[in-house]
């Protein structure tokens, strides 16, 4: 694919995916919006563009690192949820970003292969769900979003994807992969929920995000194994597995009262 073609794909695919996820999240509330953004709407396009250039081997290695990045996302969510009980919006976000940063730095020294990483990720996600603080449910989660909200989300996500894929060859597959899953939309949604509906709504967002990360981990586990064999097959298999796991996670979360 040409440079111009790849850029055009980024500029169309990323905002379309983010826009669809945002609208669906508005329909079903805070926890479900968090669960939805667990789907790799931003990092999946990054993996695709890396598979196109620099190539499948680079993208497979980066996908393993992106999967490991689910650990940093879980740390982000835990830090945000607990700090929101006492700190203001800015303080909660700062604590969450700091937690993500510390975890990401630690993960640069953690490389136990696809199977080992996947096992650790799943354990961390299960623990994260059960150490989250409780969040009271409100009678209604309807919010009147400003007109600029959706376009702003799409612009920010697209800029992030374009920027990261441009600098990825300089960062290398491990670091670019660890940075790709930064919970940009988790931060936006949780902060907006916090400012409009209070701390409990923000906790529901980040808890929903952790629930969605099981499918996220499965998506990149499949990619890291299959990308070097066939790019199209790898993404088709990853999407199929993700849909099954994502649906199962939501059902399980609702039975446990966490979604």
Q: How far is residue 158 CA from its own chain's centroid?
A: 14
Peptide bond preceding 40 in cis form (omega within 30 of 0): no
In sign, the C-alpha dihedral spanning 176, 62, 245, 240 is positive
Q: Where are the alpha helices (DSSP H) in 108-183?
A: 113-131, 149-171, 173-179
**Per-residue 3-state assignment (H helix, E strand, C coil) for 194-231:** HHHHCHHHHHHHHHHHHHHHHHHHHHHHHHHHHCCCCH
CA–CA distance from 203 to each of 69, 92, 198, 255 (Å)? Answer: 20, 11, 9, 18
Sign of CA dihedral 119, 124, 127, 128: negative
Quick check: 42 and 193 in contact, CB under 8 A?
no
- Compute the C-alpha angle 120/33/215, nearest 5°: 30
* Residue 66 per-residue DSSP state: H
In this prediction, residue 239 carries a pLDDT of 92
Tens place of pLDDT per residue across the chain (259 aa): 555 555 666 677 777 776 776 676 667 666 676 777 777 877 788 788 888 888 999 989 989 988 999 999 999 999 998 988 777 878 888 999 999 999 998 988 887 888 999 999 999 999 998 888 876 555 445 556 667 777 877 787 778 777 766 776 777 777 877 877 787 777 777 777 777 667 777 888 888 888 889 999 999 999 999 999 999 999 999 999 999 998 888 787 777 666 5
User: Rounded to an integer, what distance in angstroms lies between the CA atom of residue 193 and that of residue 138?
Assistant: 12
Which value, in Å, is the radius of gyration of the alpha carbons in the chain?
A: 17
As a whole number of angstroms, the distance between CA 201 and CA 162 comes to 31
Residue 107: name the closest of 92, 121, 95 by CA. 121
DSSP string, 44-62: HHHHHHHHHTT-HHHHHHH
pLDDT digits 0-9 by tens, 179-206: 777 877 777 777 777 776 677 778 888 8
């Amino acid at each position: 694919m040409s440079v111009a073609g790849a850029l055009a794909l980024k500029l169309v695919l990323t905002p379309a995916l983010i826009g669809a996820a945002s609208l669906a999240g508005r329909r079903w509330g805070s926890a479900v919006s968090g669960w939805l953004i667990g789907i790799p709407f931003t990092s999946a396009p990054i993996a695709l563009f890396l598979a196109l250039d620099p190539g499948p081997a680079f993208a497979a290695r980066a996908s393993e690192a992106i999967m490991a990045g689910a650990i940093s996302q879980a740390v982000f969510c835990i830090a945000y949820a607990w700090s929101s009980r006492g700190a203001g919006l800015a303080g909660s976000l700062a604590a969450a970003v700091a937690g993500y940063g510390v975890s990401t730095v630690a993960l640069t020294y953690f490389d136990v292969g696809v199977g080992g990483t996947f096992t650790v990720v799943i354990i961390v996600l299960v623990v994260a769900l059960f150490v989250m603080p409780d969040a009271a449910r409100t009678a209604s989660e309807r919010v009147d979003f400003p007109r600029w909200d959706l376009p702003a989300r799409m612009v920010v996500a697209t800029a992030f994807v374009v920027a990261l894929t441009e600098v990825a060859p300089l960062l290398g597959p491990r670091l670019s992969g660890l940075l790709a899953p930064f919970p940009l939309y988790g931060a936006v949604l949780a902060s907006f929920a916090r400012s409009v509906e209070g701390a409990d709504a923000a906790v529901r967002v980040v808890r929903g995000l952790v629930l969605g990360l099981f499918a996220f981990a499965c998506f990149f586990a499949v990619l890291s194994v299959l990308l070097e064999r066939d790019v199209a097959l790898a993404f088709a298999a990853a999407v199929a597995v993700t849909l099954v796991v994502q649906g199962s996670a939501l059902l399980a979360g609702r039975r446990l009262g966490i979604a």
